[in-house]
Chains A and B, each alone.
Chain A
Amino acid sequence: MPKCTIDGREVEFQPGQNLIEVAKKVGVEIPYFCYHPGLSIVAQCRMCTVEIEKNPKLQTACSTPASDGMIVHTQSEKAKKNQRSVMEFLLVNHPLDCPICDKAGECDLQDNSYKFGDAYMRTSEDRRTYMDLDMGPVIKKNMNRCIHCTRCIRFGAEVAGIREMVAIQRGNNTEITTIDGRPLETEYAGNYSDICPTGSLTLKDFRFKKRAWFLKKTPTICEGCSRGCNMEIQHEGGQIYRSIPRENMEINQWWMCDEGRFNYRYTMEKDRIVEPRVVEAGASKRADWATAVAQARASVRGKKALVLIGSDLTQEEAQLIQQFAKQSLSGADVRHFGTPGIKSAGEDAAADKLLKRKSRTSNLHGVEKLGIGAFEGNTGAAEAVVVFRGGRAVLPEIKAGIWTVGIGVYHDSDSKKPGVILPGAAFSEKDGTVVNFQGKEQKLRRSVLPAGKSKLISEILALWTHQGVANKAGSKASVQAVTEGAV
């Protein structure tokens, strides 16, 4: 493999790799703004300039492929002077409103200014100002903070496949905006905010909600479709504030769709049922766990049962339910449901050119692996139906009267459909494994505790099967007994 030297450190590289990537290998940070590994290279922020021996001019590291024997200095006087000067230029017109800016704490401009800029400013001229722009439901623009890196323009054109962000005017008056100020149309608009190196494109959903440094970050998997984009749920005090994509080159690269990004909202909605419910005299009433579980158990006793599970449940949950059906429901049939029209992994396909899949649940491919077949819409000879649902699977139509128990995430609008509802944990509230469309097993991690009085499915099944300990809801012994038995 060819080798070059960066700041005195020898490093091997793949032909074609640029100096920023090569430098990262030996822990040398070359600062940049406009460069993004997933976008074309424009070399226009000029922050990444480095000195290359035998080259009279500074070169931009983003646009310079490493070559054998190249000797690069990122911290020479010349390179450092340019880093200071580019930082100074960028701040000549930047409002420096970090104290009220949502990006503060995770801002490339702020970080690079601390690391590579001067603490002292020489400008006394008036700063350039623009009007804010509401860019539709996802993004709000504050142009004053913009440093014209054009990542957003390139993301739209090259990744999202839509030329909606443009530069208008020119020179010092250049403004990054949408064509005619229209709202953004792409279903991937949230990424504009992620890739913005300043607080110019902010997520409306997150604006003024939380300082970035207070957020706890849990790496997990999106449950929005069968792709299983890697993401991070950011939360604090049991409340989720946002989710952002994590890099995974084999699955979602750096991106995620808006549907997946804002999917977590349902877990915090007011109409989510977070207390056991029973239907009495045509009305849905709150009940304690012991009563509700006892009623659930009674409603299927002696009947031929059918178990339906959402393909949004984890592998562990699905296996546990299979075991439960076998042992506690006299070998009841288990079927899966999820996305209307997509009954098997074979029917799952790309839903757009970027990430979205047709299966709108996370684990269709996993439950199929467990040998669970699709629910065809016909309950057959079943006298009682027990439905398990993670949160996204679309509930099938079930004849009135035979749907006796619903376990998992339900909303007020579903409250009278099953006789008993036992509230379960949503995807952000549990650990587990899901299998994406490529057959990759990925791990969901718990970010927050189950909402209200909801419980994990393993806990609910423990209550169901261990009558004797039913009143000591969720005791460790009972959970363990069921999970060990199942796995």
Chain B
Amino acid sequence: MSNLNFEQKQSAQSESGSIGGEPGGETLFIQHFKNDEARFLKYYHEKMAGYTALKKAFGMTPAAIVDEMKKSNLRGRGGAGFPTGIKWGFINDKTPFPRYLVCNADESEPGTFKDRDIMRYTPHLLIEGMVIGGYAISANVGYIYIRGEYTREAVLLDEAIEEAYAKGYLGKNIMGTGFDFDLTVHRGAGAYICGEETGLLNSLEGKRGEPRVKPPFPAQAGAFGKPTIVNNVETLANVPFIINRGGEWFSKLGRLERSGGTRLISVSGHVNKPGVYEIPAGSMTIRQIIYDLCGGMLNNGRLKAVIPGGSSAPVLTADEIDVIYDIDPLMKVNTMLGSAALMVVSEDQCVVKLIHRITKFYAHESCGQCTPCREGCHWMESIIERILHGKGREQDLALLADISDNIGGKTLCALGDAAAGPVASFVKKFKPDFEAYIRGGKHA
């Protein structure tokens, strides 16, 4: 990996205001972002050891690649945090053919915009990762399912794929190994639910974007009923690094036991420097991210709330932000890392309006298949709307808590939990704000 320019990395970081000095550590992506040359094969070859990992992977057996992935402790970057190596391991000798590798580039969780930068600036990382993934699970066809709104990224990806085809990194007989891999970009139509992996597969097949009953899981019957592995963009883009430098090295990049590598985080809201940052997994608390990495609160405002993992994560109050920003520590405080989208809310914002907007989003994006989510999300939205209009009743808060309890964990896919978690946490943690509306008929 001598081609990775580490000196340049430091300066790139400080320019994009990414990583503060303290937690330190190596970064993989961020130094190449905001560089319009980075998306070309020439840059990828020269500065990022382009496609050397692929060559190395072809010298390994598929099983050895999966082992390396397991050692890396790479956990899925889409939101669920499932260990990638274990997921790939679901495909074994007995799995029937054909098999598919699908990249989930739907990035539909509100507040998340890290995958966009990977596709914009380092599309070849994703392509190389997918070819290696395809080789590891013996799939000859890959799809990148990209959200409809990412028009520019879809074009850039297509250009990069064309470059890779021209150089023989995609197509028939890649690098003379006899391995074929075709890659197609499929554009979605902008539904949140198509970020759920089985909803995505239905949409990819041209059907209504509705999640499927699990089991069978995609690894058994996925795209077109065939065994399929679905991985997030960032997950797949990490693969070339792992192959080149080893799973153990990657695992040690992270600061926690079960979470390897670095993590791209999307910070939005009332901070001075919102944007995409890269930190070693588990290296910072939320407080450090807000006040050290992102330059503190906007206009020196006071922090009211933090939504740590995209809009579906239960909210944290200003007192709860001294928690390490990674999967397991956040789970311990009853919220989640999700897609690592940190939304920062300052004191002058109305949280009732905020939760109304979030709930409206989920009511709008519910696919309508299963009862609790279809009926419940809209019901919660109506109740919060009524509260906002000064028509709230004392019993509404208990009702909201009960409805969210009736939705959470009772639905076909995770959208129900995504809608229920925020409502339950907002009602519990910001009760006075709701009561002000109910009693005074207006914002406190």
- A100-156: which have CB < 8 Å to B? 122-123, 125-126, 128, 147-148, 150
B374 within 8 A of A: yes
- A133-181: which have CB < 8 Å to B? 147-148, 150, 167, 169-174
A45 within 8 A of B: yes
B213 touches which of A63, A88, A128 (Cβ 8 Å):
A63
- Shortest CB-to-CB span from B416 to chain A, Å, is 9
The size class of the interface chain B forms with chain A is: 20 to 34
A86 within 8 A of B: yes
* A167/B368 contact (C-beta < 8 A), A41-B213, A49-B410 known: yes
A47 within 8 A of B: yes
* A86/B372 contact (C-beta < 8 A), A92-B379, A123-B379 known: yes
* A172/B213 contact (C-beta < 8 A), A46-B411, A123-B379 known: no
A214 within 8 A of B: no
* Cα–Cα, bound, A173→B372 (Å): 14
A42 with B406: CB separation less than 8 A: no
B410 with A85: CB separation less than 8 A: yes
* A42/B410 contact (C-beta < 8 A), A123-B379, A171-B374, A171-B377 known: no
Residue of B nearest to A174 (CB): B368
A90 with B366: CB separation less than 8 A: no
Chain A residues lying within 8 Å of B191, measured Cβ to Cβ, are 170
B375 within 8 A of A: yes
B368 with A171: CB separation less than 8 A: yes
B363 with A172: CB separation less than 8 A: yes
* A82/B410 contact (C-beta < 8 A), A90-B375, A172-B378 known: yes
* Cα–Cα, bound, A42→B212 (Å): 7
Chain A residues lying within 8 Å of B213, measured Cβ to Cβ, are 41-43, 63
A57 within 8 A of B: yes
* A47/B367 contact (C-beta < 8 A), A41-B213, A85-B410, A125-B383 known: no
Residue of B nearest to A41 (CB): B213
- Shortest CB-to-CB span from B4 to chain A, Å, is 44
Fill in one digit per residue for B180-193: 1 if any A CB lies within 8 Å of its CB, else 0: 00000000000101
Fill in one digit per residue for A73-98: 1 if any B CB lies within 8 Å of its CB, else 0: 00000000110011011101100000
Chain B residues lying within 8 Å of A46, measured Cβ to Cβ, are 370-372, 410-412
Chain B residues lying within 8 Å of A90, measured Cβ to Cβ, are 371, 375
Residue of B nearest to A153 (CB): B208
* A93/B371 contact (C-beta < 8 A), A49-B410, A82-B406, A122-B399 known: no
* Cα–Cα, bound, A89→B404 (Å): 12
Fill in one digit per residue for A27-42: 1 if any B CB lies within 8 Å of its CB, else 0: 0000000000000011
- Shortest CB-to-CB span from B162 to chain A, Å, is 35
- Shortest CB-to-CB span from B2 to chain A, Å, is 49
A172 with B375: CB separation less than 8 A: yes
- Shortest CB-to-CB span from B389 to chain A, Å, is 12
A323 within 8 A of B: no
A44 within 8 A of B: yes
- Shortest CB-to-CB span from A43 to chain B, Å, is 5
Chain A residues lying within 8 Å of B411, measured Cβ to Cβ, are 46
B26 within 8 A of A: no
A89 with B409: CB separation less than 8 A: no
* Cα–Cα, bound, A286→B376 (Å): 67
A171 with B406: CB separation less than 8 A: no
B442 within 8 A of A: no
Residue of A nearest to B368 (CB): A174
B300 within 8 A of A: no
Residue of B nearest to A89 (CB): B375
Our count of residue pairs bridging A and B at CB distance below 8 angstroms stands at 89
Chain A residues lying within 8 Å of B409, measured Cβ to Cβ, are 57-58
* A148/B386 contact (C-beta < 8 A), A46-B411, A63-B213, A170-B366 known: no
- Shortest CB-to-CB span from B44 to chain A, Å, is 40
B172 within 8 A of A: no
* Cα–Cα, bound, A53→B223 (Å): 32
Chain A residues lying within 8 Å of B364, measured Cβ to Cβ, are 171
* Cα–Cα, bound, A81→B371 (Å): 15
* A170/B368 contact (C-beta < 8 A), A46-B410, A58-B409, A125-B383 known: yes
Chain B residues lying within 8 Å of A122, measured Cβ to Cβ, are 399
* A86/B399 contact (C-beta < 8 A), A125-B379, A170-B366 known: no
* A171/B365 contact (C-beta < 8 A), A49-B410, A125-B383 known: yes
- Shortest CB-to-CB span from B427 to chain A, Å, is 15
A85 with B372: CB separation less than 8 A: yes
* A173/B368 contact (C-beta < 8 A), A41-B213, A125-B382, A125-B386 known: yes
| Chain B CB within 10 Å, residue with most, of A46, A93, A171 | A171
B369 within 8 A of A: yes
* A89/B369 contact (C-beta < 8 A), A41-B213, A58-B409 known: no
A44 touches which of B369, B378, B379 (Cβ 8 Å):
B369
Residue of B nearest to A40 (CB): B213
A89 with B379: CB separation less than 8 A: yes
Fill in one digit per residue for B414-425: 1 if any A CB lies within 8 Å of its CB, else 0: 000000000000
* A147/B383 contact (C-beta < 8 A), A43-B213, A44-B412, A171-B363 known: no
Chain A residues lying within 8 Å of B193, measured Cβ to Cβ, are 170
- B342-390: which have CB < 8 Å to A? 363-372, 374-379, 382-383, 386
Chain B residues lying within 8 Å of A126, measured Cβ to Cβ, are 382
B366 with A171: CB separation less than 8 A: yes
* Cα–Cα, bound, A49→B372 (Å): 12
A172 touches which of B368, B383, B399, B412 (Cβ 8 Å):
B368
Closest 5 CB pairs of A and B: A174-B368, A172-B378, A85-B406, A171-B366, A89-B375
20 contacts between A and B (CB under 8 A): A42-B213, A44-B412, A46-B410, A58-B409, A58-B410, A85-B410, A86-B371, A86-B410, A89-B374, A92-B379, A147-B371, A148-B374, A150-B369, A167-B368, A169-B368, A170-B191, A171-B368, A172-B366, A172-B377, A174-B374
B residues sitting closer than 8 Å to A (CB atoms) are 191, 193, 208, 213, 363-372, 374-379, 382-383, 386, 399, 406, 409-412
Besides A47-B371, A174-B368, 11 other A-B contacts (C-beta < 8 A)? A43-B412, A46-B372, A63-B213, A89-B375, A89-B376, A92-B375, A170-B365, A171-B363, A171-B364, A172-B378, A173-B368
